[in-house]
Structure 1
Amino acid sequence: MFSKRSIRQSFLIQLIFASASLIFIFSSILYFYIERSIFEEKHQELLNYAKNIAQNESIYGSEAPSPEMYLGLNVEIIYLDVTHLDIEMYETTKNNEIYLTLIYPFNLDELSYLKITKEITATKILLKKILNYLFVINIAGFLLVIIYAIGLSKMLVMPVKTLSNKLSNMNEHLMRPIKVEELPEEFEPLGITINHLIKRIQNFVKYQKELFIGTAHELKTPLAVIKLKNQVTLIKKRSPEEYIDALKVTNKTIDEMNFIVTNILNIGRQEGAQLEKPQEVDVIKILTQKADDFKLLAENEGKKLHIHLEPCGYMAVLQVSLLNQIIQNFLQNALKFTPKDKSVTLRSSQNNYGLLIEVIDEGCGIDESSDLFAPFKREGNKPGVGLGLFLAKSAADALSAKISIKNRTDGITGTVASLNLNSKLSCILPAN
């Protein structure tokens, strides 16, 4: 039922031990308080008898004695060969009966003392019954604590077992998000995290299938071209120049295949980058450095790159290589599809989610109904493999960031590529 690392077992032991200790301490304090209160009352009673007799008053003072007050009470005068004897009180047992005795100075000149004895057997029996009752109550309380601890521990681990059962029944074909509203409030963050992970796994499985199919298709076409070109070349003898032209076509096709393979290898490298240890960095500083690099590239192509970064500093804990990959892809695509003498804008701003990074171009726009982040998905008439946005989406998922690409809505043709970094692990730097 339990293991050495069982949290439930540890919780049960600690709760039972703490509750049993609390019950024992409380019962002990209660019993000693009752015992002390009763005996202090008996001591004070005998002391009052002695004071009344010493003052030549009625033994019971001004109170009218009841018959029960005479029971078990014995008063006598004794003579001792000592002087200045303090008040002494002690218990004795005789014939299974318990007596409480008080020695009180009466006449020190005659060395006489009052010896007042009161039978307290009934009181002792009462205290013994109280002790037995407390013992029975302690045992019953301890058993109730065990039952309560078992029930409470079972209730606490029930959400974990429920989550475990739901996750164990999932596979790559049947993955459903967990209903967070059905979980206890304390487990809601765990449910949200699991749903985020499930979503990432769903996207991963979906895109991996498309990646394998797309890779096979992309590599099959150039291989077929190479084979067909070689077959045509081998049909009859040709001049050296024709053989050279055929080899050039073959080499060009091989270069295209190498470019595809290189991009596929970048996917593996990015998965490795996702395992890198996150660093605390200034995102605005990284954006500024990346913008400076692409500003020169834009000028060489006859285009302009505008930069508007706010706030002045924004610290975040993330994998720098993944952030660089996303921003680089955004800027490369923006410059590639933006015509000459047009401009690209890199800007950032703070919102409720965190830091919003946007790259705005003046290109041909996109078809928003298509899945732009699918592998080998191409837009426009520019060359490319179609893996850039797929890698950017994977990197954004690893950063727990939101990524999107939409057409501009300000009346100008072009797109807006945005990355929204989560603010949970970030903070704004002061202006100074």
Structure 2
Amino acid sequence: MFSKRSIRRRFLLQLIVASAALVLLFSSSLYLFIKQSIYDEKQADLVRTAQNICTSKSLISSQQNNPELLLGLNVELITLHKEENLLEFYETPKENKRTDLTLVYPFDFEHSTYLKVSRDITSTKLLLKKILRSIFLINAFGFIVIILYAIAFSKMLIAPVSALSRRLANMNEHLLRPIAVEHLPEEFEPLGETLNRLMGRIQNFVKYQKELFIGAAHELKTPLAVIKLKNQVTLIKKRSPEEYIEAIRITNQSVDEMNKIVANILNIGRQEGAQLEMPSEADIIKVLKKWEGDFTLLANSENKHLQTHFEPESFSAVLQVTLLNQILQNFLQNALKFTPEGRTIIFQSSLDGNNIIIEVIDEGCGIDDTVDLFAPFMRQGSKSGVGLGLFLAKSAAEAIGAQITLTNRNDGFEGTIAKLILPSKLYCLLPTR
């Protein structure tokens, strides 16, 4: 019915064992309680009978008000050397499966005589057996009901997971659809949201990977075509040494451009490896101040000014610091590249509720809002570059559960605002010891 790895199978097996133990314990406890109650009543009757006999010195006079107590009763006077206050009960099996309950009760201490009062409890023993069978039959029926309910209940609990599993099993990278979280039970909403985020990342990954392959082929094709054309022109006729040197120089420039493209593609592979690094706790403000020191020197060397302001004094987060550094490096490099000489770059952080917002604001040419600048090999402006920096930054942000945006300034200045939002609860795995 269920495989060995089935959650329902383990749940039902554990429930069957626990229910069987509970039924056995309950049945035994109930039977022992009923048996002890009946035996206590029988023993109390024998004690009252013995007390009446000792008081009235006559069996008949002691029982004249309740003659039914004489049925099955046997009284003997015996001599024993026992303690004065001794009361002793024991059962005595007789012929024909008869059982007597016997009481030894002190009668005359001076002559060491005791009353031996016995009563036939065969009917009581048979009644107890019927009670025991009835208890186990009732509890066995209850056990079956529990198992049937457990099967139905486990099926109800596993239904949302089974539905999610079937839906995910029928998906591929071309047919990814978000899960309707509002239709899931409340306990499964976090799972649905996590799966939606994962599917969103997979869709972006597939989309950008396709664009990356197409872009890489296109970007490499152009310098290769230039190299081939120059070589063909060079081979048409003999040329002077200077002309050969110039042709080789142009060829080397094309090779350098291809090397840049290959280097950036390798950076993508390195970043995917960095996403598998174990996250660690880091002070974000300390990381920002490190980049402040490095880019202040670069900005000064290009006659540009880097203005910084960091709030709060510290902000701890668990994440891959390598990925955070890639994002910050890209933001600062782009701001430094597009900001003209004598202008200012603002590097700042602030709190937004429990989240921290990191911004790099330049005074460059701004961006075209209709263009997806996070796509691979997407370039804007007249500055040189391969066009993979923002693609890498976007991938790194998604890996650490952060969000990045690019917008134009709206404070009367021309330029771009690169924003990184680090939530207080990142979606990366916590390190385990």
TM surpasses 0.5: yes
Alignment of 1:6-155 (within 5 A): 6-56=6-56, 65=65, 68-74=68-74, 76-80=75-79, 82=81, 84=83, 86-94=86-94, 95-155=96-156
Deviates more, 1:106-115 or 1:357-366: 106-115
Distance 2:408 2:254 in 1: 34
Equivalences, count: 425
Distance 2:291 2:393 in 1: 16
Distance 1:82 1:212 in 2: 108
Given that 1:46 and 1:116 are in contact with CA atoms closer than 8 Å, whether structure 2 keeps it comes out as: yes
Distance 1:195 1:59 in 2: 89
Alignment of 1:185-334 (within 5 A): 185-334=186-335
The residue type paired with residue 69 of structure 1 is L
Q: Structure 1 residues 287 and 62 mapped into 2: Cα distance closer, same or farther (>3 Å)?
A: farther
- CA drift of 1:269 comes to 1.4
The residue type paired with residue 43 of structure 1 is Q
Distance 1:55 1:409 in 2: 112
Match of 1:430 in 2: none
Distance 1:177 1:60 in 2: 92
Given that 1:303 and 1:341 are in contact with CA atoms closer than 8 Å, whether structure 2 keeps it comes out as: yes
Moved beyond 6 Å, runs of 4+: 57-64
Distance 1:318 1:237 in 2: 61
In structure 2, runs of 5+ residues without a counterpart are 428-433
Distance 1:358 1:248 in 2: 41
- CA drift of 1:69 comes to 3.4
Distance 1:183 1:59 in 2: 79
Deviates more, 1:353-362 or 1:146-155: 146-155
Distance 1:340 1:59 in 2: 127
Q: Structure 1 residues 312 and 57 mapped into 2: Cα distance closer, same or farther (>3 Å)?
A: farther
Distance 1:290 1:165 in 2: 47
The residue type paired with residue 187 of structure 1 is F
Distance 1:310 1:62 in 2: 99
Given that 1:353 and 1:420 are in contact with CA atoms closer than 8 Å, whether structure 2 keeps it comes out as: no
Q: Structure 1 residues 63 and 311 mapped into 2: Cα distance closer, same or farther (>3 Å)?
A: farther
Given that 2:56 and 2:62 are in contact with CA atoms closer than 8 Å, whether structure 1 keeps it comes out as: no
Given that 2:348 and 2:358 are in contact with CA atoms closer than 8 Å, whether structure 1 keeps it comes out as: yes
Given that 2:311 and 2:349 are in contact with CA atoms closer than 8 Å, whether structure 1 keeps it comes out as: yes
Q: Structure 1 residues 82 and 216 mapped into 2: Cα distance closer, same or farther (>3 Å)?
A: closer
Deviates more, 1:278-287 or 1:201-210: 278-287
1:163 aligns with 2:144: no
- CA drift of 1:32 comes to 0.8
Distance 1:276 1:377 in 2: 28
The residue type paired with residue 181 of structure 1 is E
Given that 2:63 and 2:70 are in contact with CA atoms closer than 8 Å, whether structure 1 keeps it comes out as: no
Distance 1:241 1:383 in 2: 28
The residue type paired with residue 55 of structure 1 is T
Given that 2:401 and 2:426 are in contact with CA atoms closer than 8 Å, whether structure 1 keeps it comes out as: no
Match of 2:370 in 1: 369
Given that 2:362 and 2:415 are in contact with CA atoms closer than 8 Å, whether structure 1 keeps it comes out as: yes
Given that 2:80 and 2:113 are in contact with CA atoms closer than 8 Å, whether structure 1 keeps it comes out as: no
Match of 1:359 in 2: 360
Match of 2:412 in 1: 411
Q: Secondary structure at the match of 1:307?
A: strand
Deviates more, 1:58-67 or 1:36-45: 58-67
Q: Structure 1 residues 67 and 367 mapped into 2: Cα distance closer, same or farther (>3 Å)?
A: farther
Distance 1:61 1:153 in 2: 68
Match of 1:429 in 2: none
- CA drift of 1:6 comes to 4.0
Given that 1:50 and 1:59 are in contact with CA atoms closer than 8 Å, whether structure 2 keeps it comes out as: no
Q: Structure 1 residues 22 and 239 mapped into 2: Cα distance closer, same or farther (>3 Å)?
A: same
**TM-score, normalisation: structure 2:** 0.91
Q: Structure 1 residues 103 and 280 mapped into 2: Cα distance closer, same or farther (>3 Å)?
A: same
Distance 1:322 1:259 in 2: 21
Q: CA RMSD in A?
A: 2.4
Match of 2:387 in 1: 386
In structure 1, runs of 5+ residues without a counterpart are 427-432
Distance 1:166 1:185 in 2: 19
Given that 2:63 and 2:69 are in contact with CA atoms closer than 8 Å, whether structure 1 keeps it comes out as: no
